[in-house]
Structure 1
Amino acid sequence: MIWGDYSLEDGVRKSVCLDDLLNIHLKGNGSELWLAYDRNRELPPDINDEDDADHDGGADDDEGQASSDDTDHDVHTIDENQWTRWRLRSAKPVISLSPAFPNLPFVVHPEHNYQLAPGAETRLFMRIPVAVTVADKTDNNLRLTEINAVELVKTWFGTFESGEVCYWVKTVASLKVRPEMVRAHRCYCPVLIRNESDDFLHIEKICLRVERLSIFEKNGMLWSDQMRVVHKGGDNFSDLTVDGRPPAEAEGATLLTRPRNPVREGIALRTFKALNQLPVINMF
């Protein structure tokens, strides 16, 4: 795994690779950090399950997650304009790399559109691509930047009258965890949905508010805490609560990242795409 701390004394260079997708290059130059990144190959955010199953670097191997500080790495071939220089307070900075959810909610969809009967509940697992947070551990974990593991597409979620910008990702929401689909750049997010309205709940699109979720790690796999969504009908708003601990499938997991917005309960937000809402529209 690439998550952890990297000492960057003067002249030290390190390069890490996430899932054969993203290369991050770090160089120490006194009190300066030099940072650059590039992508091995462009994979769109709507990787389907068949493509994922065939992708190198699956759950049972560590390729694409190696760290290297040798001097003949591609770090020498990075274009000068790709480097960003950070003047830090420590003469011997320790740079921390950790996973984080990107800064907007995600619109995802289940494997099949279906109806949830009044009083019924279902538990879905969603695989969300993470970002890499770069922080200076020697300066109280000062956050320097974030780099998305994959290029993300923005969309609009809501109605003509009200809505919000989200990321669109064509990763399915499934009823069970599939070990063959585990990837280092994706986090499994369990969501428990309960329909407390008097009508069937039509689940076609789900807005997952990742800013309220933590990220945990167990055996090389990323997990979020479970989000509970209670739909009560009316104007399509749902009550959200977050457990704040690893799900049962990842008992004993290590906390890597706390949520951007740590509010765990008392939230009423639009979660499901109603029949009269706008379709998902790609934005630029």
Structure 2
Amino acid sequence: MSDTPPSVNLRTDEPHPARVYDFYLGGKDHYRADREFGKRILTICPQLRPLALANRRFLARSVAVLAGEHGVRQFLDLGTGLPTSPNLHEVAQGIAPESRAVYVDNDPIVLTHARALLTSRPEGATAYIDSDVADIDRILDRAAGTLDFDRPVAVSALALFHFLPDPVPGDLLARLRERLAPGSFLTISHVLPALRDVAAAYQGAMGLGTLRGPEEIRALFGDFELLDPGIVDPFRWRPDQAPAEEEPGDDIAGLGAVAVGRKPAA
């Protein structure tokens, strides 16, 4: 299942969050405006590139832990962004081929790459939903064609909520948490107030950028119980799951935070 990609205007003359993030990751799906903006941001904060890489590695580690240690077989990825190997379903299906994943985004650039997100192992399934993440009820209704919400689902929202102003993240997550079955998981990554200059640059160029501290990030989980080690730098969340050569070092400490929470039994 996937929404049919409409004809879209990518506005390649303006920087776009997904394409700029792709630039940080060393990808190829960006344009001159994205590179120029990304380079300007890196002059403000050179650590943003290793932070983006650490965030992507955290995604792979968290999915591996949820699939391998907690037996999760259903995944819902909010604010997917551009495909970057390994994608979420590739990690999950590498552990459990029957895993099912639904990707959600409303960025035109991601729509053009949706097919790359839908290549599943025969035992599993993947789907893509074109939707604003704030429309969480529509997302859950459509995702129900692939996922069984009477069983645990792992929801990920990485590098997403700092692009949304209050009270949007809290409101949509309250509805989401209510719909999820006990034993479901929520994974969040978010930049911290130390990146205020970066946030100001994003606000000026794209009207985006909302910083939150650890207490505000914790509030997004509601009554979900955080897995150890709680809210930490992305490279400090279960680093045993990553090869030593991928450790980025302490130069990005305090710039971003990640956590994984579990819905308690009813």
Q: TM-score, normalised by structure 1?
A: 0.25
Greater C-alpha radius of gyration: 1
- Bigger share in strand: 1
- Bigger share in helix: 2
